[in-house]
Structure 1
Amino acid sequence: MVEETQPGQPRDVDELPDRLWTIPNLLSVIRLALVPVFLWLLLGPEADGWALAILVYAGVSDWADGKIARLFNQTSRFGAMLDPAADRLYTLATVVAFVARDIVPWWIAALLVGRDVVVGICIWVLGRNGFAPPEVTYIGKAATFNLLYAMPLLLLAQGSSDFATVVRPVAYAFAVWGGALFLWSGVLYLVQTRAALRSSARPAPI
């Protein structure tokens, strides 16, 4: 549900402590710094094993920094912005590399990137009208879960080995379900944004 921010009321991110030197932030910075290395490994030497290791680190550290932040009270404004940025860059780098190597068709990549552009516009429009971003839905979380599994599995599915043959249908199943849920969560963002803007346009009751 999209909730309107009252005048003078800080956003949730703005209410977080303004600190940089925390373990979760360090994990996120390392994860972010490895994005160009990950992309080079996929497109340069095509060292899929090392690229897969970085992708696994990205997934594990993404889970770990959230746990550490909550357990040891190390949440921060910087971390709240850095963590999703790193996730988005990994997704974008993987999609670009997969298209370049013909692992996925370009139109699928265009749909996924287009969805993120639409969501970004929705968040910007909501902010301009005094609304906080919509809460993450279970559909969005399920989409992320499926796509996080699909990416390394698609790498493992490359080649003509027996192992790749076994992994391939599982990888595409995760990719199809994750992509469909990802697009559907984008539609929900549009619905929530429209509902919020319409509610703000109604005249206040007398």
Structure 2
Amino acid sequence: MTEQAQDDAVSTRILTVPNLISFARLAMVPVFGVLIATGRDGWAVVVLALSGASDWLDGVLARRLHQVSRLGQLLDPAADRLFILVTLVGLAWRGVVPWWLLVVILARDVVLGLMLIVLRRAGYPPPQVHLAGKAGTFMLLYAFPLLLLGGWDSWVGTLAQIAGWAFALWGVGLYWFSGVLYLRQAAGLLRRREGEPA
């Protein structure tokens, strides 16, 4: 097997180093939820930063150790979505971000969730992750700790709030842009299926 083929191979293994990191990241979600709900913003920022770093690390290790797995392909985006959801609900509840931001981001996930159901019924796997989707997710995950720091009554808070909203708005744009790409990819697969002979 060539090195490229090894890189592209997707295993059914469960106990891999990247999967263990993803499990740990999932376990941090309720911890983060409690911290943000109780106003312990300093620790919440630390947990969110660790989550972002581990998200990058598990992807790098999966490729370098040739441990890309189907479970990992499910766990990684699931942890991202849960962190985004819990963070948005907590920040919106505390009035740090407006509720429309939560609605806009959740609407994209609902649309893509329906798309995945249609693809699965047609016998297709989920589409490959686009760089735009990853970039949008990273921007959102980095926007939230900055928006939390934006509550500080100092020049640091002011700069953090400006940078946080820049990351958030660009993140939302890329999040929806990738969503459109996924929808176009799914539509192409379904059109191709309709054109196949019975």
Question: Are 1:25 and 2:51 an aligned pair?
Answer: no
Matched, 1:34 2:28: yes
Residue 11 of structure 1 is matched in structure 2 by none
**Paired residue type of 2:132:** I
Give the distance between the partners of 2:131 and 2:63, measured in 1 at CA.
20
Q: Which residue of 2 aligns with 1:101?
A: 94
Distance 1:186 1:138 in 2: 11
Q: 1:184 to 1:18 in 2, by over 3 A?
A: closer
- Cα 1:78/1:134, change in 2 over 3 Å: closer
1:82-126 per-position Cα deviation (integer Å, ceiling 9, x unaligned): 222111111111111111111111122011011001111111111
Q: CA deviation at 1:148?
A: 2.3
The one-letter amino acid of 2:19's match is N
2:174 corresponding residue in structure 1:
181
Match status 1:43 vs 2:37: yes
**What residue is the counterpart of 1:3 in the other structure?**
none
How many pairs are equivalent? Answer: 190
Alignment partner of 1:115 out of 103, 108, 119 = 108
Task: Give 3-state SS (helix, strand or coil) of 2:146's partner.
Answer: helix
Deviation at 1:43, TM superposition (A): 0.7
Counterpart amino acid of residue 22 in structure 1: T
Gaps of 5+ in 2: 1-8
C-alpha contact 2:119 2:186 (8 A) present in aligned 1: yes
State how 1:191-206 maps to structure 2 within 5 Å.
191-202=184-195, 204=197
In the alignment, the residues of structure 1 paired with residue 136 and residue 30 of structure 2 have an alpha-carbon distance, to the nearest angstrom, of: 24
What is the CA–CA distance in structure 1 between the aligned matches of 2:15 and 2:138, rounded to whole Å? 29
Which residue is 2:6 aligned to? none
C-alpha contact 2:52 2:141 (8 A) present in aligned 1 = yes
Alignment check: 8 A CA contact 2:52 2:138 kept:
no
Classify 1:203/1:29 alpha carbon distance in 2 versus 1 (closer, same or farther; 3 Å): closer
Between the aligned partners of 2:14 and 2:128, the Cα distance in structure 1 is: 25
1:141 aligns with 2:134: yes
Identity of aligned residues (%): 47
2:25–2:54 Cα contact (<8 Å) kept:
yes
Q: Tell me the TM-score normalized by structure 1.
A: 0.84
Q: CA deviation at 1:173?
A: 0.8
Q: 1:136 to 1:161 in 2, by over 3 A?
A: same
SS in structure 1 of the partner of residue 156 of structure 2: helix
Letter in 1 for 2:55: D
Unaligned runs of 5+ in 1: 1-14
> What amino acid is aligned across from residue 31 of structure 1 in structure 2?
R
The 3-state SS of whatever aligns with 2:164 is helix
In structure 1, give the amino acid aligned to 2:41.
Answer: D
Does the CA contact (< 8 Å) of 2:140 and 2:171 recur in 1? yes
Give 1:194 deviation, angstroms: 2.4
